[in-house]
Amino acid sequence: MASDDRRANLQPLSLYVPEPKFRPGDAVDFTSVRLPAAGETRRPDTADKAETFIDLAYELVRVLDEDNQAVGPWNPRLSPDTMRSLLRSMALVRAFDERMFRAQRQGKTSFYMKCTGEEAVAVSAAFALDYEDMCFPSYRQQGLLIARGWSLVDMMNQIYSNKGDRLQGKQLPIMYSVREAGFFSISGNLATQYPQAVGWAMASAAKGDTRISATWCGEGSTAEGDFHSACTFASVYRAPVIFNVVNNQWAISSFSGFAGAESTTFAARAVGYGIAGLRVDGNDALAVYAATAWAAERARTNQGPTLIEHFTYRAEGHSTSDDPGQYRSEGEPNAWPLGDPIKRLKDHLIAIGEWDEERHAAQDKELAEDVKRAQKEAEQNGILGHGLHQPLDTLFDGVFEELPWHLKEQQAQMLAEETASGRPWAHKS
């Protein structure tokens, strides 16, 4: 290409393309992952200016140490009851995931996404926020709904797209929407919820309300333009919003390097926007709680937004349609140096004499039974493709507030097709 002789002596450029450290078959060694010790990272006042704690964007807020003790300035000093409740919620999320993953493999639903290993990210946040605060989640924060005590049957109805589905079978499984529980409608389009959460927070502020909003996306989605728009808006208007970036190292098959992780942290994105940034051990339920409570206090006192990077690991496949064995080493999940969030909180409770293995095993069994019972109840309303879906004509509901003529015509056409088919497609009530 460069036919110009004047350039002949210059060194050719080369394009750098990131590559994860380990591929299938490789031995895993995470010793290069820099992990500040628990209790080491300082805790500033929530009213301090964002520019005064830039260092926190590169550190790691950790509470639970190697000896299963809660240490340091970020220790939220939760009561044993609250911690047991946190543990129970996380375990319930995992039991729910296990059951629904299996339901997908049994053909009862088309699709599912687990959050294994990331339970603390959503559950602890739900504990630290007020119930009235609005959450704008991505698809991997089912823990918010479960921690807020939402009905498992209702969630399963949505997964099964059955006649009990509050979303009328309109949405892909797990794209929940539960306004009553402060859980905003999930979209398939990544990061779109980010500016929306800012808009909700701005509205709350403009109205003199006291509620705040929180939003979540994966580290991969931070590359979307909406992330930048949201950070800019939040910074400009000091919106009472918490941005959560769940850095689970993987965006389907792409490692976090493709979102920029080789050069900096995701919490450090906050620095350039003048937003408070925290980097948190996402597998430490107490650290996630403490960081969220800190950010919530900051937002509630009109000090503006906070961006929290939750440093964690996506322990399983991206979805039921994914096979991580094709692109990463099998050894990664077990070698992950921050361990498992449920085990770590459990070990802490045991270490302080507030829990034991027997109670834990009994709880796991009880939760599995709860989930199974909920599943049976949900399946009474039907599973995917078994005819127990919403009435056929609901297909047109909600495009607009009222049906315009062209949708009425198409609805009539569809019902005529049902008649022409000779077999009823809908179980009409």
Partner 1 sequence: MNMIQAINSAMDVMMARDPDVIVMGEDVGYFGGVFRATAGLQAKYGKQRVFDTPITECGIIGVAVGMGAYGLRPVPEIQFADYIYPALDQLVSEAARLRYRSAGEFIAPMTVRSPFGGGIFGGQTHSQSPEGIFTHVSGVKTVIPSTPYDAKGLLIAAIEDNDPTIFFEPKRIYNGPFDGYWDKPAQNWSKHPAGEVPTGYYKIELGKAKVVRAGEALTVLAYGTMVHVAQAVIADAGIDAEIIDLRTLVPLDIEAIEASVKKTGRCMIIHEATRTSGFGAELSALVQERCFYHLEAPIERVTGFDTPYPHSLEWAYFPGPVRIGEALKKVMKD
Residues contributing to the site for partner 1 (CB under 8 A):
134, 136, 166-168, 170-171, 175, 177-179, 184-185, 187-189, 192, 194-204, 206-207, 213, 225-226, 228-230, 232-233, 236, 397-401, 404-406
Max Cα–Cα distance, the chain, nearest Å: 80
Which of 99, 140, 298, 318 is flagged as catalytic? 318
- Chain-centroid distance of CA 113 in Å reads 11
Type of residue found at 411: Q
Angle of the 80-105 helix axis to the 152-160 helix axis, nearest 10: 20
The nearest distance, CB 115 to partner 1, in angstroms, is 21
Residue whose tokens read 């942290």: 265
Least distance in angstroms from the C-beta of 139 to partner 1: 13
Pick between residue 187 and residue 254 the one whose CB is nearest to partner 1.
187
User: In the complex, what is the shortest distance from the CB of residue 186 to partner 1, in angstroms, rounded to a whole number?
Assistant: 8
Q: Cβ closer to partner 1: 195 or 282?
A: 195
Of 62, 140, 314, 348, the catalytic one is 314
Amino acid at 257: G
- Residue closer to partner 1 by CB (options 25, 404) is 404
CA–CA distance, 77 with 75 (Å, rounded to integer) = 5
Strand residue runs (E) in 181-236: 213-218
Annotated catalytic residue 228: no
CB nearer to partner 1: pick between 69 and 187: 187
User: How many distinct helices (H) and strands (E) make up the chain?
Assistant: 12, 7
Q: Considering the complex, what minimum distance in angstroms separates the CB of residue 390 from partner 1?
A: 9
Closest CA to 223 of 199, 257, 271: 257
Q: Are 215 and 242 in contact (CB under 8 A)?
A: yes
Cβ contact 135:144 at 8 Å:
yes
Q: Where are the alpha helices (DSSP H) in 336-404?
A: 341-351, 357-380
Look at the block and give the residue holding tokens 């995701």: 266
Considering the complex, state which of residue 352 and residue 399 has its C-beta at the smaller distance from partner 1.
399
Residue with Cβ nearer partner 1 (51 or 180): 180
327 is catalytic: yes
The DSSP secondary structure of 111-161, one letter per residue, reads -----TT-HHHHHHHHHHS-TTSEEE--TT-HHHHHHTT--HHHHHHHHHT
Neighbour tally for 246: CB within 10 Å: 26
Residues in the chain: 429
Is residue 129 within 8 Å of residue 135, measured between CB atoms? yes
> What minimum distance in Å lies between the beta carbon of 404 and partner 1?
4
Q: Smallest distance, Å, CB 230 to partner 1? A: 7
**314 is an active site residue:** yes
Q: Active site residue: 43, 166, 327, 427, which one?
A: 327
Residues forming the active site? 314, 318, 327
